Amino acid sequence: MKLNIAVLPGDGIGPEVTAQAVKVLKAIAMEYNHVFTFNNALVGASAMDATGIPLPEETISICDKADAILFGAIGHPKYDDDPSATVRPEQGLLGLRKTFDLYTNIRPVIAYEDLLNKSSLKIKQIKGTNILIYRELASGIYFGEKNFSNDEASDVCAYKRTEIERIAHLAFKAAQGRKRKLTLVDKANVLASSRLWRTVVNEIASEYPDVTLDCMYIDNAAMELIINPCQFDVILTENMFGDILSEEASVIVGSIGLLASASIGNKHAMFEPIHGAYTKATNKGIANPIASILSAAMLLDHFGLYDEAALIREGVDKSLKLHITTPDLNTKYDNISTSKVGDFIEDFINNPDETNLN
């Protein structure tokens, strides 16, 4: 298969981890005779430093022509402290989501057997966790009207029925292929937008009689996710609740450096780790590249390259089993760098039966 992949490493640790994902994709292309081409483009603080804006036209054009976008991370503390700033690195990411209408963000949360003791939660609580979070990504409070003055500020959370319907169908279909349980997370006891979510999702549920639908308030879900994560199969939720819940879920997995995501629209798709730029760790070789590498696996799944994606995941599993991980997870070795993890998974793809730590 030929794939044209736009690579947007972004800020902080983004370039280091994305380089490992590209390395792994190149190994897959070699092994399976695919032709993957990679075109780099600027986004975020690095784009602001170079061009003054977080999402340059050239980046939009490269992404528009690509089959898929591989995204790194975004943000820099130097832009965090001015509350009235109107141009921010994050607008690069939000602009991509909006421009390409990437309305469905899928975030798998899996408690790996080999990492159960890395979580600060009890093993018996988290063992077996396997959740898919469907987060609405192109609307809601992130994109509603905003006003800011020194005395008053507001962000509007608005949803249209059609925006809820399109992601809800995808979430129900995902549940059909899993444990057939869908949990809608909202705040319908307080928010009108949540009441629309509940109405629409309940209506759609009748088209998926084999899926059990549960509705849960966000405050309760935040607690249930920690005390009994195994009760969840697919979680469907709006933009901001999904942001918060998925970051919370990283506590189950053991490190936020393991959580990958796919952001899917009708024509475009972007793949990115859920972690941020982690600026303090930039160029120290300590950033965990697994979330980026697993995002590359989701990219391959998106194009039906299931064996290829599975091989990457096997490589990741083996790296975890052998403790070939960055310091966020490692207590056994203290010298495993970001690129060493990438090299290991690349070697595994080249030679799955013989890869060991050397």
Helix axes 192-205, 161-176, angle to 10 degrees: 50
Instruction: Kindly tell me which of 254 and 276 has the beta carbon lying closer to ligand IPM.
Output: 276
User: From the CB of 92, what's the least distance to ligand IPM, in Å?
Assistant: 9
Which x/- pattern, by CB under 6 A, does the window 175-204 give for ligand IPM?
Answer: ------------------------------
Q: Nearer Cβ to ligand IPM, position 23 or 97?
A: 97
User: According to CB under 6 A, which one of 55, 63, 74, 300 is a site residue for ligand IPM?
Assistant: 74
Q: How far apart are CA 142 and CA 137, in angstroms?
A: 9
Instruction: Closer to ligand IPM by CB, 243 or 346: give it.
Output: 243
Binding mask 87-116 for ligand IPM (x = CB under 6 A): ---x--x-----------------------
249: contact with ligand IPM by CB under 6 A: no
Report DSSP letters for 215-242, one per residue. EEEHHHHHHHHHH-GGG-SEEEE-HHHH
The answer to whether the beta carbons of residues 261 and 120 sit under 8 Å apart is no
Q: How far is the CB of 183 from ligand IPM (least distance, A)?
A: 19
User: Shortest gap between Cβ of 104 and ligand IPM (angstroms)?
Assistant: 13
Binding mask 15-54 for ligand IPM (x = CB under 6 A): ----------------------------------------
Separation between Cα atoms, residue 261 and residue 23, nearest integer Å = 18
Dist CA 163 CA 42 (whole Å): 29
Q: Considering only residues 252-291, where is the footprint of ligand IPM by CB under 6 A? A: 274, 276
| Residues 35, 2 contacting (CB under 8 angstroms) | yes
Residues at the interface with ligand IPM (CB under 6 A): 74-75, 90, 93, 243, 274, 276
